Amino acid sequence: MVQPGYHLFEYNPDKAKSLLKDANWDANRELDLLYYYADTTSANMVAALQQYFAAVGIKSKPRLETAAIIKELYEAPKFDIAYVGGPTFAPDPSALGDQYDSRNFYPTGYNGMKYKNPEVDKLLDEGLVTIDPAKRNEVYKKIQVIGMEDLPVIPLWEANRFIFVNNKFCNVYWSSFGGYQNSSAFAEKWGMCG
């Protein structure tokens, strides 16, 4: 759902070219486009990003790294832009704090881009103590609006995740929140039915 005041960015290569020209973008510069997912979907997404960049005059070179190097890269960034997954797939919007709260800089949290906005920090704190669901919803809507203005991260897509379980198994836990990590949650409670 698009929030009132939410800044949507339409696909507009001509405007992007104009903004790059106004910013005196060096057309010879090549962005280091880091990613660490070796699956086909991610490789295709990175190839698409590279094509979108090229369409407006930005050169980029994808660089696949192993997930093991991410800690090192967050601590001492040596890349221009990164295609990474976000930890905000949770049923409660307070999970935004993992990525947006300035007290959660990596490695104590997932704020690897070191985003810091005192207003967002204050709203995150307010959201944690607000009990009324309608008021709490308004707090997180404000955070979304600010996030789309500041753009510490650029949301691209959300995967649909499915799990298939033979009907001979009982007590299999699955939640679409948390993605594949939850596919084997509480495996000790699984059992054969009947």
- Give me the domains of the chain, ranges plus CATH numbers: 1-84 (3.10.105.10), 87-157 (no CATH), 160-194 (no CATH)
pTM of the model: 0.72
| Contact (Cβ atoms closer than 8 angstroms) between residue 101 and residue 72 | no
Q: Which residues pair with 34 in a beta bridge?
A: 63, 82
Contact 55, 47 (CB under 8 A): no
Q: How far is CA 107 from the centre of its chain?
A: 17
Long-range contacts of 121-125 (CB under 8 A, 24+ apart): 124/94, 124/96, 124/97, 124/100
pLDDT of res. 180: 45
pLDDT of residue 50: 96
Extract the tokens encoding 127: 């959201």
Residue whose C-alpha is closest to residue 25's, from 16, 34, 33: 16
What DSSP character marks residue 59? Answer: E
pLDDT at position 90 is 64
What is the residue type of 49? L
The owner of tokens 């709203």 is 123
Full pLDDT tens readout for the chain, 194 residues: 556 666 677 889 999 999 999 999 999 999 999 888 888 988 999 999 999 999 999 999 999 988 777 777 777 778 888 888 765 556 678 888 888 899 988 777 778 788 999 999 999 999 999 999 999 999 998 998 898 889 888 877 766 666 777 888 887 766 555 444 455 566 777 788 87
| CB neighbours of residue 24 within 10 Å | 6
